[in-house]
Structure 1
Amino acid sequence: MAWVAGAGMFMGLLAIAWGIVTLRTGWILPWARRHVTRPRLHGLGALATGASPLMQGLFYFRFLPSASWEVRFLGGNALLLMGLLLIATSQLLPPRRSPDHTHPSGV
């Protein structure tokens, strides 16, 4: 069971690193570039999504003081759902338009 928690922590760290890179530079992975219209929301979603398995692993290996299973379960699921909703929102919102490009004909 420890390898499952360790693999989850590793994936969580990768998602957190991806979120930090996205927030700092705006860089999106190549297979997601076509879909993402708001990189900042995407980065925040990756941070929240990565924090969930990382936190669960830290509880499992007792690096954090143990909370009740309800707090761990509901807190982890809330972080994961929030991150997934932010990632979905970053892909579903229309792209931002600058005011200069709203009427290309100059009217």
Structure 2
Amino acid sequence: MAWIVGTGMLLGVLAIAMGLATLGTGWVLPTARRHVTRPHLHGIGALLAGAPILLHGLVYFYLLPDISWNVRFFGANALQFAGFLFIVLSQMPKRRHSSRPEPAEPD
């Protein structure tokens, strides 16, 4: 069971590293570059999606104090849902400004 949690922790660390790289430099994985229109939201989403996975592993290996199962379950689900929501929002097309010309200033 420990290797499963350890593998999850590795994926959580990779997601957090990707989020930090995106926030710091705007870099996005090559497979997602075509879809991501807002790298800042994508980085926040990656951080929020990777953090619960890492925290769950730290609690499993007793590196963090044990907290209630309900807090862990609902907190992790809320963080991951928020992260996935940010990732989805980062892939939405940007709004275009209206094509109507601005009114002329009076002389």
Shift of 1:96: 6.3
1:34-69, Cα deviation, whole Å (9 max, x unpaired): 110100000000001110100100110111110011
1:91 and 1:59 map into 2 onto residues whose CA distance is: 33
| Structure 1 counterpart of 2:10 | 10
Aligned-pair identity in percent equals 60
Letter of the 1:68 counterpart:
S
More helix, by proportion:
1
| Structure 2 counterpart of 1:91 | 91
Equivalences for 1:1-107 in 2 at 5 Å?
Answer: 1-92=1-92, 94-95=93-94
1:76 and 1:6 map into 2 onto residues whose CA distance is: 17
TM-score scaled to structure 2, two decimals?
0.86
What RMSD, in angstroms, separates the aligned Cα atoms of the two structures? Answer: 1.6
User: Which runs of no fewer than 5 residues in structure 1 stay unpaired?
Assistant: none
User: Which runs of no fewer than 5 residues in structure 2 stay unpaired?
Assistant: 101-107
Structure with greater Cα Rg: 2
